[in-house]
Amino acid sequence: MILPALKKILLIIGTRPEAIKMAPVYLALQQAYEFFETKICLTGQHRELAEEVLDFFNIRADYQLGIMEESRGDLTLLTSLLLAKLSTVLEEFEPDCVLVQGDTSSAFSAALAAFYAGIKIGHVEAGLRTFDKHNPFPEEFNRVALSRMADFHFAPTALARHHLLHEKIPPENIIVCGNTGVDALLEAKKRRKDTSFPFEREGRKILLTTIHRRENQGTVFEGICSTLLKLSHRKGWLIVYPVHPNSNIYPIAHRLLANQPNLLLLDPLPYGDFIQLLLKSDLILTDSGGIQEEATVLGKPVLLVRKSTERSEAVGSGHVKMVGNEMEGIFWEGSKWMKKAEKGQLHVGATAVFGQGDASKQILNFLKERLGTQES
């Protein structure tokens, strides 16, 4: 038996959601050490948040770019710095394939750098679409552009595959594998410690809130905060809001919502604690993409503070209701769903619409085949 030479795989991680969804892929590749040499590049887009997730999974990054301190959140500067620094990493490691996840500027820039260098690109969570290039911005453009550059497309659902086929992506380069976020969630449920939060109280329901997206910042975010304040007046509820450290979110949230009855602001929670909070919540109000997926696995109802979603499967399953990002719609639907929860009418069972938790294994097997690592 002759084993082929090791293939080098570089995983790019910028944000906390990327860290969550790439962690199980990295662990799967690490277990196949006889086939792959695998390294992680942490761009630093959400450095502390991403590092905490990697720590949870006992993973360490091999490259640290520290990009956010230099870019100051400016998209043009962020992209140009990422291209330059990632090109240096590619020259040093010389990977056979670069894996990117989702739709961030880190993913887009890494794919572009790999494309320029003639390196194969694998796109984890490929094929999501809203068909509105401005919403969400710049994520929708990023994922469409990624599909034009990528060689391998790891689609989470059949609908995502359909979108890719419609865009003339060769079917042999697409695999429907489920979402790696499900893999991470199931692993986190095994690793987490089942503890109580100090704010838990018998008979009081919890509305978990997370808001951070670019389209929900500025005056829109101020309106969302005003709506949360109104919703917090409903008896028997506690609104728990782990506030994103983004400078366009954190100070405004604390100015408008701190020290209010029935409204608790927290710093970002460690991943395991956040999963624990998801499990204990009765209703979720969010603009997050990943939470839409996690809710279907955990059987939790979600009010989505967005005008469109690239995860229509979550809406179709009955777990997610889009409420837009205007005060009136959020308050109306929020009040209605809180009332339903009080009456025990918000029952959404767990579903496997985003996979069974074996996406990382499927990605591993696909890469073994397509990168020529099979035994001979």
Other Cβ atoms less than 10 A from the Cβ of 180: the count is 30
Strand order through the sheet with 263-266:
263-266, 237-242, 205-210, 283-286, 302-304, 320-322
Question: What count of Cα atoms within 13 Å lies in the side-chain half-sphere of residue 259?
Answer: 1
Among residues 111, 308, 299, 272, which one has the least CA distance to residue 195? 272
Q: How far apart are CA 349 and CA 372, in angstroms?
A: 41
What are the φ and ψ backbone dihedral angles of 205, each rounded to 5 degrees?
-90, 155
Three-state DSSP state, 368: helix
Residue 193 confidence (pLDDT): 75
* Residues 340-354: tens digit of each pLDDT: 999 988 878 888 899
| pLDDT, tens only, 242-257 | 999 988 999 999 999 9
Structure confidence by residue, pLDDT tens digits, 102-158: 999 999 999 999 999 999 999 999 999 999 999 899 999 999 999 999 999 999 999
User: In sequence order, which residues have a C-beta less than 8 Å from that of residue 335 and are 6 or more positions away?
Assistant: 231, 234
The residue annotated as part of the active site, out of 244, 306, 311, 319, is: 244
The single residue of 51, 96, 139, 282 carrying the catalytic annotation is 139
Q: How far apart are CA 367 and CA 189, in angstroms?
A: 27
125 is known as an active-site residue:
yes
Q: Active-site residue among 46, 153, 163, 212?
A: 212
Q: Read off the pLDDT of each residue in 57-62 and give the average, rounded to a whole number.
A: 96
Q: Is the model's pTM score more than 0.85?
A: yes
Give the single-character DSSP code of 105: H
Percentage of residues in the chain having pLDDT higher than 70:
98
User: Is 244 part of the annotated catalytic residue set?
Assistant: yes
Known catalytic residue: 233?
no
CA–CA separation, 55 vs 95, rounded Å?
24
